[in-house]
Amino acid sequence: MPEYFPEVGAPITYEGPKSQKALAFKHYNPRKKILGKTMAEHLRFAVCYWHTFKGAGGDPFGPGTMLRKYNEPANPMAQAEATMHAAFEFFTKLGVGFWCFHDHDIAPEGATLAESHRNIESIAALAKKLQRQTGVKLLWGTSNLFAHRRFMAGAATNPSPEIYAYAASKVKKALEVSKELGGAGYVFWGGREGYDTLLNTNMKRELDHLGRFLAQAVDYKEKIGFKGQFYIEPKPKEPTKHQYDFDAASCHAFLQKYGLVDQFKLNVEANHATLAGHTFIHELEYAAANGILGSVDANRGDLLLGWDTDQFPTDIRECTLAMYVILRAGGFKTGGLNFDAKVRRQSVDPVDLFHAHIGAMDAFARGLENAARLLASRKLENFIQKRYAGWDTGLGAQIEAGKLDFEALEAYTIKHGEPKVQSGRQEMLENILNEYL
């Protein structure tokens, strides 16, 4: 078997913060225990197949720039097999526990649906063998329902029932394969489930079809006994002008309306949050507050660019706040941190994939350590607890218990007069956060 990443001779190791070696972890020490779990157990890092092995650096102004040995075989199935071997070499040299893929990242589409299914089954069998050999696990699988021209007007929300049926057939196979590979989850990202213009769109009908499609996926999951967690991945726009899974709140409303809220959690992606005009932390907190925080696509955008740049996460403040919310919510159960990120177009060498992942893993390891110390100090918790203490007794407790109506509240206010106000202390709290970075 050829070696696809010869620049990295041995698995990347933890060398500590003083190390000057570029291909080493300075902070991610997989066995180090924090709050009773190892770093590896907390962070559950995953490598995504699409950007890391199928992305070649193309952008709207030019084709790919990255030449990879595993793309050399001319036969698409031979190329798919070579890529799978390269992927598992990469996972084991990097030392990640998980990977994620779309059906047609791992295997080419055939001339017919039946041939596509056979391609996927064949490459999935190889993946299963490599999983067994290496111990690397599947964090989640998914189906690509947005690249092929048949899905240009959506998959589940397509005006054509034939295309709904085609999409269902693809998801059915992707669920079977995710089960076969022991996947901890399955993601629905509605790539083209939205619209470009309302002049040609029946929004209500499309939403109903999306609800039905997801309910049918739940039925099939139960039928085949697939135990993985279902996730929806919110994104406000791109490729469509307006996507139905806009953000955490709109997904939550959708899931409730269609009776799916107990079957799905969210896969929150950092830059999808910022594209929606939120912060990553807002989206995590919203999901956590509503019991639907499931998994994370870890990346970042660029403040100067309004599109989905999918850069590797390196911002320690952001990683700290993200881990703070995740730890407070009880940590990952089935989910993890999937690097839905790609190296820049000029980072053409295979070794750049290592630099990118090592930096991101170190950034989240620092985030985890910072967040654990911040939590242990209880500085923010105590402040917030005091800020809302009025609700623990007396008037607040009675309101929360539903014991006072508007008339009683008016009588209380007339009796007690103008309420006291308290400082929000934002600047002091920002200073506290900085002490932990």
Active-site positions read 102, 105
The one of Co ion, ligand XUL, none whose footprint includes residue 93, by CB under 5 to 8 A per kind, is none
For the bound state, the minimum distance from the C-beta of residue 106 to ligand XUL, rounded and expressed in Å, comes to: 13
Q: With respect to ligand XUL, which residue has the nearer C-beta, 68 or 192?
A: 192
The one of ligand XUL, Co ion, none whose footprint includes residue 271, by CB under 5 to 8 A per kind, is none
For the bound state, the minimum distance from the C-beta of residue 143 to ligand XUL, rounded and expressed in Å, comes to: 8
Q: With respect to ligand XUL, which residue has the nearer C-beta, 4 or 50?
A: 50
For the bound state, the minimum distance from the C-beta of residue 62 to Co ion, rounded and expressed in Å, comes to: 24
Q: With respect to ligand XUL, which residue has the nearer C-beta, 309 or 398?
A: 309
For the bound state, the minimum distance from the C-beta of residue 102 to ligand XUL, rounded and expressed in Å, comes to: 6
For the bound state, the minimum distance from the C-beta of residue 174 to ligand XUL, rounded and expressed in Å, comes to: 11
| Residue keyed to tokens 């103008």 | 418
Q: With respect to ligand XUL, which residue has the nearer C-beta, 181 or 374?
A: 181
The one of Co ion, ligand XUL, none whose footprint includes residue 157, by CB under 5 to 8 A per kind, is none
Residues in 119-158 at the binding interface with Co ion, rule: CB under 5 A:
none
Judging by beta carbons within 10 Å of its beta carbon (0-12, 13-18, 19+), is residue 15 exposed, middle or buried? middle
Residue 269 lies near Co ion (rule: CB under 5 A): yes
Half-sphere exposure of 133 (CA within 13 A, CB side): 11
The one of ligand XUL, Co ion, none whose footprint includes residue 342, by CB under 5 to 8 A per kind, is none
Interface size with Co ion, residues (CB under 5 A)? 3
Residue (of 19, 65, 27) closest to 362 by Cα position: 27
The one of Co ion, ligand XUL, none whose footprint includes residue 142, by CB under 5 to 8 A per kind, is ligand XUL
| Residue 310 Rama label (left phi>0; alpha psi -120 to 50; beta) | left
3-state secondary structure the chain: CCCCCCCCCCCCCECCCCCCCCCCECCCCCCCEECCEEHHHHHCEEEEHHHHHHCCCCECCECCCCCCHHHCCCCHHHHHHHHHHHHHHHHHHHCCCEEEEEHHHHCCCCCCHHHHHHHHHHHHHHHHHHHHHHCCEEEEEECCCCCCHHHCCCCCCCCCHHHHHHHHHHHHHHHHHHHHCCCCEEEECCCCCEECCHHHCCHHHHHHHHHHHHHHHHHHHHHHCCCCEEEECCCCCCCCCEECCCCHHHHHHHHHHCCCCCCEEEEEEHHHHHHCCCCHHHHHHHHHHCCCEEEEECCECCCCCCCCCCECCCCHHHHHHHHHHHHHCCCCCCCCEEECCCCCCCCCCHHHHHHHHHHHHHHHHHHHHHHHHHHHHCHHHHHHHHHCHHHCCHHHHHHHCCCCCHHHHHHHHHHHCCCCCCCCCHHHHHHHHHHCC
Q: With respect to Co ion, which residue has the nearer C-beta, 116 or 299?
A: 299
Q: With respect to Co ion, which residue has the nearer C-beta, 89 or 269?
A: 269
Of 17-25, 219-227, 262-270, 396-404, the window that binds Co ion (rule: CB under 5 A) is 262-270
Amino acid identity of residue 128, one-letter, is K
For the bound state, the minimum distance from the C-beta of residue 362 to ligand XUL, rounded and expressed in Å, comes to: 22
Q: Which of 340, 342, 362, 364 binds Co ion (CB under 5 A)?
A: 340
Q: With respect to ligand XUL, which residue has the nearer C-beta, 269 or 283?
A: 269
The one of Co ion, ligand XUL, none whose footprint includes residue 235, by CB under 5 to 8 A per kind, is ligand XUL
The one of Co ion, ligand XUL, none whose footprint includes residue 247, by CB under 5 to 8 A per kind, is none
In angstroms, rounded to a whole number, what is the distance separating the alpha carbons of residues 176 and 434?
Answer: 47
For the bound state, the minimum distance from the C-beta of residue 411 to Co ion, rounded and expressed in Å, comes to: 53
For the bound state, the minimum distance from the C-beta of residue 184 to Co ion, rounded and expressed in Å, comes to: 16
Q: With respect to ligand XUL, which residue has the nearer C-beta, 81 or 269?
A: 269
Contact pattern for Co ion over residues 271 through 310, marking x by CB under 5 A: --------------------------x-------------
The one of ligand XUL, Co ion, none whose footprint includes residue 308, by CB under 5 to 8 A per kind, is ligand XUL
- Paired tokens of 113: 């649906």
Residues near ligand XUL, by CB under 6 A = 50, 102, 142, 187, 189, 233, 235, 269, 297, 308, 340
Q: Which residues pair with 230 in a beta bridge?
A: 186, 264
Interface with Co ion (CB under 5 A): 269, 297, 340
